[in-house]
Amino acid sequence: MKLSGRVDWRAPDAKADALFGAGATRAEKSLANGVGIAGAVFIVLAAWVNEADWNILLYLVAAIIAFDVVGGVVANGLNAAKRDHFGPPSATERTALGRLVRHPVIFTSLHIHPIIVGTFYPPHLWWWGPLWYLGILAGTAIVRSVPLYLERPVALGFCALVAMVSAYSPMPEMWGWLPVMLALKLVLAHAVQEEPYRPAAPAAR
């Protein structure tokens, strides 16, 4: 039973870091990057094993999207990022990207990944990208509009429904996972305000 976590909303005296949050530890950054790399490797291998009708450029774009989205699930859920997103302004907010990530709906609107995938990956379902783009954007807006105590359960419910709908809907080949991962990254990990737990303070001597 872990009750020793230290919640710290204070803006750290640290270098700006819009991706992981100012003051993110090496462990936090390594975890996010490691999961992102694993996601990129997996989608490339899965497409190759399944003989997807992709050229080299499509493989490259898929790897970039997977790294960003899968790694972003972890990065947006880091406690350092939560402190940056919802706490007092830190050094991160002095950068354009840092100011942007403090507005979840606007940040979500920049994620046009489904539109790219639906347009360029076979079987080129023109409606798939806009549908999921608007759906994820709506999910983020809903989470930000409900009372704080409902944010997490509403986000979890949204992610659960996205997983069910995407599993039984037409999709571009090899991309059924994307709506679920975007929901996890943007609706659950980014839009939900949560306490920023930090490493325990060193024992006094």
pLDDT 10s digits, 80-119 = 999 999 998 887 778 888 888 999 999 999 999 999 999 9
What would the pLDDT profile of 14-40 be if each residue is shown by its tens digit?
898 999 999 999 999 999 999 999 999
Using pLDDT thresholds of 50, 70 and 90, give the confidence band for residue 2.
Answer: low
What is the pLDDT, as a whole number, of residue 98? Answer: 84
CB atoms within 10 A of CB 187: 30
Cα–Cα distance measured from residue 85 to residue 98, given in angstroms and rounded to the nearest whole number: 8
Q: How far apart are CA 173 and CA 191, in angstroms?
A: 29
Q: pLDDT tens digits, residue range 164-187?
A: 999 999 999 999 999 999 999 999
Cα–Cα distance between 87 and 68 in angstroms, integer? 24
Spell out where the chain has E strands.
6-7, 197-198
Instruction: Indicate the burial class of 83 (C-beta count within 10 angstroms; 0-12, 13-18, 19 or more).
Output: buried
Reported pTM: 0.93
Q: Supply φ then ψ for residue 60, to 5 degrees.
A: -65, -45
Give the pLDDT band of residue 4 (cuts 50, 70, 90): low
Max alpha carbon distance in the chain (Å)? 65
Percentage of residues in the chain having pLDDT higher than 90: 81
Residue 90 and residue 16: Cα distance in Å, rounded? 7
